[in-house]
Structure 1
Amino acid sequence: MFGKGQGMTMGTFDTLLLAFDMDQRVDEAQSFWNMILHTHERSISRRLFSRMISIYAHHNMPHHIIEVFADMEELGVKPDEDTTRKVARAFKNVGETEKQQLVLDKYLSEWKYIHFKGERVRVRRKYSWNDD
């Protein structure tokens, strides 16, 4: 399918990375990620970055998480809350607590949104970053 130029979408890439993760084939996921990164450099979605960080977090590879996060920042892609927490945990595991705090302060806002009685409500976030 890829050979004929069909199906080369970010959704297909995400599904393939998930399949590699479920099959415990991290090395193949890593080589596929490098292909995506070099081929589609400026158009990689936040979802793909999050998927790759999740794969590395699942397999306890904090140095790789930090590398993917560096690429993410370089391309100007803002991480979601779960990805931010995984990156902060990776910095903590590596022993760089000051960078952990910088990431949390930069990407986790003071407010978050929850759903309460069918409505979206804005609430102040508690500052308990160490509750991983």
Structure 2
Amino acid sequence: MSERTTPTWPQRIGYIFGRTLPASMSEWVRKDLTGPGAARRYLMRFLIPVIPPLMLFLLIPGPKWMGVAMMALLYLPLIYFTVALMYVYRRSRLIKHGLDPALADADSRRRSEAARLDYERRHGRA
């Protein structure tokens, strides 16, 4: 029997909470952290689960705008820091799974290399 290459639901939930998956799932982890939709998945994993606890602010007596304002005071910085730390998180997860941390910014390096080559082609350096 061959080893699984994709996680089961319990493994996937553990992975979302920070557990390391077996080495046989390294390709799945690489695609999850660096493939298409990686940023969207990362943001959803951090930003959606905190909404229900924040909704408890709506139960505080007083005008509803006050509960919404208290939610915003916590949620807006969370969005900012989640986006700001995306690169650090992805590198950390790649290292934890034994993958090359340079994969975290491979896409941006590829884009900058294409832009550099285009610049050199247009200005006669290639």
Q: TM-score, normalised by structure 1?
A: 0.27
Larger Rg: 2
Bigger share in strand: 1
Q: TM-score, normalised by structure 2?
A: 0.28
Indicate the structure whose relative CO is greater, using CA pairs within 8 Å and at least 6 residues apart: 2
